[in-house]
A and B are shown apart, each in its own frame.
Chain A
């Protein structure tokens, strides 16, 4: 986890490096910026949207603190003038909404809260969706942000095998999650 970096500066620098030309980014709160950027990096060059209908791609995202970073900011605005543009981000699943808007994903989506990253739950849940043809592709993982502490680890899971893939298992997810430190 990056504790010393100024988070807002960091997020902006990733945006500038990616250069996605997406003005909506500037409206988002830090948690959504983090999740959105992570999804851009995940999908860039790896996801072939032309292979999927909008309702065939979905998301399962998780974290520990929900939208607490923004909740605190909104609570501050209540002391003066409550801000609707901050309030709208006081739900963790808004991040899913932003990623869906960007990519026209209309499929199954859900946000769960866990104290720690739970690869077993994600593996079981996403496998169910893919095996039952509820989805053909799923973006899943962990997006956590509170002040400067942040961690985003996302996986793109697809039903059809392609060349550069690892097997979707809890062990592989845990391995990747552990290495994403610092």
Chain B
């Protein structure tokens, strides 16, 4: 089975429109999270990382009307494809789209009829984006809560290793609408302040908008790139909106990912956690990391910079981790000050340079799902 390499990537966020811009801003400790007063989204002010409402993402779409969500996908894929050498019209290339709610905001102001049903469908957006770039294969759409981005990477990797494809373009995005924000507010999951992942005083999440693209290939001309190693997915089989209290199911797939990569716990240099800053998630992740023997490995969460970007989260955070591997730079967990956990882990709160070789990325989501992927230099 061939190795799978990362060819190119893009992050399109309120912090920057390329991976390089984003990474630079993070090293300068710049966050996209701000206080917003937007009654179209919420009666109360809230902290989130959002694009300017007036920002345009693509220049000229001719006579096709793309929604904001679709523009994000197109802009991100377009930037990643530039200079990647990947031919989208190749039969051996597939497009994979990751999102939780896509164009759901169309429900807000439009009467529901057959036309809206078709327009709002995720497969409609996928076909539209695929057609824009000339992809010849049917695009895949993964919609699996907050692990969608990692699941997209795992799916791309598996499709390539099976030989069915040689290249996979994986893009994820979500737009923050009243639909999404009100839901998390109803859950009392939204923090009244900038979020504090893993911190003893954490009070919940900030939401975030963004898009990100990762291009994978088995073509050996890319063998200088970061490799996608083992990856796995599990279900807690416990609760649909809260994680397992033990973290065992996440620990299990961390170990599976290690085994599949022929690595052991001591080989992991960095963990990019999901770290949403809810009481339950961060505690569960700390337990899982400890069960897997990784309690002394530097851990960070990027949710303090980006907020929780839902369908884009697994991709944005993987790309930053991959850049960290290349730069041998561990980024801090913005918002973290003090740990108070049953199973303490090694949360980075300062940027620091150490040799980095293998990075573990984890994610968990509603429905009890967990995902883990390992990237290697």
To the question of whether A and B form a pair in one complex, the answer is yes
The answer to whether B122 and A97 touch across the interface, beta carbons within 8 angstroms, is no
Within 8 A of A (CB), among B106-143: 107-108, 112, 117, 120-124, 126-127, 138, 140-143
Pick out which of these stretches binds chain B: A6-14, A42-50, A104-112, A167-175: A104-112
Name the A residues within 8 Å of B232 (CB-CB).
Answer: 108, 134
Interface mask (A69-82 → B, CB under 8 Å = 1, otherwise 0)? 00110110010001
Residues of A within 8 Å of B249, CB to CB, are 55, 106
Assess whether A94 is interfacial by the CB under 8 Å rule: yes
**Which residue of B is nearest A124, CB measured?**
B164
Q: With A93-B367, A93-B369, A94-B366 given, is the CB distance from A110 to B144 under 8 Å? A: yes
Q: B187 touching A101 by the CB < 8 A rule?
A: no
Interface string of A38-71 (1 = CB under 8 A from B): 0000000000000000110011000011101001
Q: In the complex, which residues 100-147 of chain A have their Cβ closer than 8 Å to any Cβ of chain B?
A: 100-101, 103-115, 118, 121, 124-125, 128, 134, 146
Whether, in the assembled complex, B339 has its beta carbon less than 8 Å from a beta carbon of chain A, the answer is: no
Neighbouring A residues of B237 by C-beta, 8 Å: 54, 100-101, 103-106
Partner of A107, one of B121, B185, B234, B365: B234
Which chain A residues border B252 with CB–CB below 8 Å? 55, 106
| B186 CB within 8 Å of chain A | yes
Taking a contact as CB atoms closer than 8 A, the residue among A90, A91, A106, A121 that contacts B235 in the complex is A106
> B121, A90: Cβ atoms under 8 Å?
no
Q: State whether A84 touches B186 (Cβ < 8 A).
A: yes
Q: When the two chains form their complex, are residues A84 and B369 in contact, meaning their CB atoms are under 8 A apart?
A: no
Interface residues of B in 90-112 (CB under 8 A from A): 100-102, 104, 107-108, 112
Which residue of B122, B239, B366, B368 contacts A66 across the interface (Cβ within 8 Å)?
A: B122
- Report Cα–Cα, A83/B188, bound state, in Å: 11
Judge whether A101 and B186 touch: CB under 8 Å: no
A96 located at the interface, meaning its Cβ lies under 8 Å from any Cβ of chain B in the complex? yes
| Known interface pairs A97-B368, A112-B143, A121-B140; A106-B101 also in contact (CB < 8 Å) | no
Contact A93 B143 (CB under 8 A): yes
- List CB contacts (< 8 Å) of B326-377 with chain A: 365-369
A72 near B107 with CB under 8 A, answer: yes
* A residues in contact with B179, CB < 8 Å: 71, 74-75, 78, 90
A74 to B185, CA, bound (A): 13
* Number of B residues with CB within 8 Å of any CB on chain A: 51
A87 touching B141 by the CB < 8 A rule?
A: no
Contacting residues, chain A, for B138 (C-beta < 8 A): 118
Which of B122, B178, B240, B366 interacts with A101 by CB under 8 Å?
B240
Task: Give the Cβ gap from A63 to chain B, nearest Cβ, in Å.
Answer: 10
> What residues on B are CB-neighbors of A64 within 8 Å?
121, 123
Task: For residue A93, give the distance in angstroms from its CB to the closest CB of chain B.
Answer: 4
Decide if A88 is an interface residue (CB 8 Å cutoff): yes
* Cβ contact within 8 Å between A92 and B143: yes
- Whether the pair B108, A101 counts as a contact (CB closer than 8 A) is no
Given known pairs A55-B234, A112-B140, the reply for A100 and B368 (CB within 8 Å) is yes
A92 to B365, CA, bound (A): 12
Bound: A71/B120 CA distance, A: 11
A58 to B: closest C-beta gap in Å: 8
A93 & B145 in contact (Cβ 8 Å cutoff): yes
A87 and B187 form a contact (CB under 8 A): yes
Which residues of chain B are near A125, meaning CB under 8 Å? 155, 158
Contact of A146 among B117, B122, B127, B178 (CB under 8 A): B117
Q: With A88-B366, A110-B144 given, is the CB distance from A128 to B117 under 8 Å?
A: no
Complex Cα–Cα for A134 and B104 (A): 34
Q: Please report the C-alpha to C-alpha distance between residue A94 and residue B369 in the assembled complex, in whole angstroms.
A: 9
* A173–B142 alpha-carbon span in the complex (Å): 21
- Considering the complex, give the chain A residue whose CB is closest to the CB of B187: A84
Interface mask (B213-242 → A, CB under 8 Å = 1, otherwise 0): 000000000000000000011111111110
Q: With the chains together, A90 CA to B187 CA distance in Å?
A: 13
Say whether A71 contacts B107, CB under 8 Å. yes
Cβ of B183 under 8 Å from chain A: yes
Contacting pair B369 A88 (CB below 8 A) = no
**Contact pick for A96, options B122, B185, B367, CB 8 Å:** B367
Cβ of B331 to closest chain A Cβ, rounded Å: 29
Smallest CB–CB gap between B339 and chain A, Å? 28
Chain B min CB distance to A159 (Å): 17
Q: How many angstroms from the CA of A92 to the CA of B101 in the assembled complex?
A: 10
CA–CA, A59 and B144, complex, Å:
12
How many Å lie between the Cα of A115 and that of B232 in the bound state?
26
**Which B residues are CB-close (under 8 A) to A158?**
none
Complex CA distance for A1 and B375, rounded to whole angstroms? 45
B169 within 8 A of A: no
CB distance from B128 to the nearest CB of A (A): 12
Besides A58-B233, A84-B187, 4 other A-B contacts (C-beta < 8 A): A66-B102, A101-B237, A112-B143, A125-B155
Seen from chain A, the residues whose Cβ lies within 8 Å of a Cβ on chain B are 54-55, 58-59, 64-66, 68, 71-72, 74-75, 78, 82-84, 87-88, 90-94, 96-98, 100-101, 103-115, 118, 121, 124-125, 128, 134, 146
A-B contact pairs, 6 of them (CB 8 A): A59-B235, A66-B102, A88-B241, A91-B145, A106-B237, A109-B233
